[in-house]
Each structure stands twice: as C-alpha cells, then as structure tokens.
C-alpha cells in the first residue's frame, strides 16, 4: 500500500522530478507507518524513481529524455514476451477482464478523461502481468512501465490517448483470442506508438 501510494504520487507528478523526499510528509499523506514507508522508499530507489545522494538524502529522480528511448527498446522485448505468454496462459476470466479494461481505456479517451484512461491502463497491465505467469519478466518490466507513465504525465499535451487506447484494444483482443503471434505484433505496435510519442517530445 505504501509503495503504490508513493509510486502514484511520483508517476502523476504530485512529487515532481528533483523534489526532496520528506519521510514525515509521506507518512502523513499516506496514513501509513514509518516502517512500510521506508521499505517502500527503498523499493523506489531500486526501481530508479528515487535517488539517494550523499548529504542531500532522497530525491525524486529526473526524467532522462535521451535514456527514455533506450528504456523503450528494452521494454519492447519484455512486453512482447508478456503479451505472447498471456495469449497462451490467460484464464477465461482474465481474457474477459483484459477486454473490459481496454474498453474502459477507449471510453475514457473518447471523453478526454486522462485520469480514467491511466487508471484503466494500470488495471489492464495488472491483469496482463498476472495472466502471463512469468514473474521474472514482470519484475523487470514494472519499473519501465512506471517510468513511461511518469513520462506521459509530464508531456501529456503532446500525446494522443485515442491512439493509445486503440493500440491497447488490439492487444487485449489478440490475447483474449489466444493469438500469441498477433499479441506480440500488437505489443510491438503499442511500443512503436510510445516511441513515436517520445521522439516528438525530444524533438
């Protein structure tokens, strides 16, 4: 709970890049104790969202534009693996849930509801990660997903959530139908979209 709460604050820029981390403030905001808060902060350091600097303590990490393209390149391989294994291993309820989350994303995009879009996106990721049943791939990709979510919030004015929703609908549909090759291709299409968005921001 502590990790999810603090990660969400960082990803949505409530805690901005470069901001100092004040443990007492986080405890007050989350309503959770010192021990879970400290453990969550250490996990966030390990995931690259927080940096620990000598004599300066903990700070929210900066968004590295040039490195973001490298991150997307690495994420592409993991997401393709996850999509393909989900297509093979997902249970019927998980397949249905993926399509429901994608439909929620499309509806939120049509309304121009960014918080609703991102909430449905996170829900889809959660189901997809459970469905693939590959804990090593999921553990590796989650920090990348969080960094991409924060990148999106930082530069959302240049994004196209309708196109993002369309890519997720294609991905969810391929997984739901058990088509591993199609799911891998849909995952690549989604990563192409995120790369194009990042390149527009950098340009």
Kindly report, residue by residue over 138-185, the tens digit of the pLDDT. Answer: 999 998 998 898 888 888 766 788 999 999 999 999 999 999 999 999
Out of 3.40.50.360, 1.10.10.10, 3.40.190.10, 3.40.50.720, the CATH code matching 2-60 is 1.10.10.10
Q: For the segment 95-135, what is each residue's pLDDT rounded down to a tens digit?
A: 999 999 999 999 999 998 888 998 899 999 999 999 999 99
CATH superfamily of 65-202: GntR ligand-binding domain-like (1.20.120.530)
Find out whether 106 and 117 touch, Cβ atoms under 8 Å: no
What is the pTM (predicted TM-score) of this model? 0.85
Whole-Å CA distances, 15 to 24, 102, 177: 14, 28, 40
């Amino acid at each position: 709970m502590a990790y999810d709460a603090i990660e969400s604050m960082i990803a949505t820029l409530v805690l901005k890049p470069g901001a100092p981390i004040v443990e007492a403030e986080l405890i007050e905001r989350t309503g959770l104790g010192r021990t879970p808060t400290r453990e969550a902060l250490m996990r966030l350091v390990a995931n690259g969202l927080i940096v620990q600097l000598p004599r300066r303590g903990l700070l929210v990490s900066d968004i590295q534009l040039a490195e973001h393209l490298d991150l997307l390149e690495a994420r592409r391989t993991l997401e393709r693996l996850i999509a393909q294994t989900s297509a093979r291993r997902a249970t019927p309820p998980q397949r249905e849930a993926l399509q429901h989350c994608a439909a929620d994303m499309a509806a939120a995009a049509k309304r121009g509801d960014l918080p609703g879009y991102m909430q449905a996106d996170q829900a889809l990721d959660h189901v997809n990660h459970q469905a693939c049943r590959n804990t090593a791939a999921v553990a590796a990709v989650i920090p990348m997903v969080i960094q991409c979510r924060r990148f999106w919030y930082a530069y959302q004015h240049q994004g196209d959530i309708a196109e993002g929703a369309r890519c997720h609908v294609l991905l969810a549909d391929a997984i739901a139908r058990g088509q591993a090759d199609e799911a891998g291709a849909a995952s690549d299409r989604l990563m192409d979209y995120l790369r194009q968005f990042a390149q527009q921001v950098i340009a």
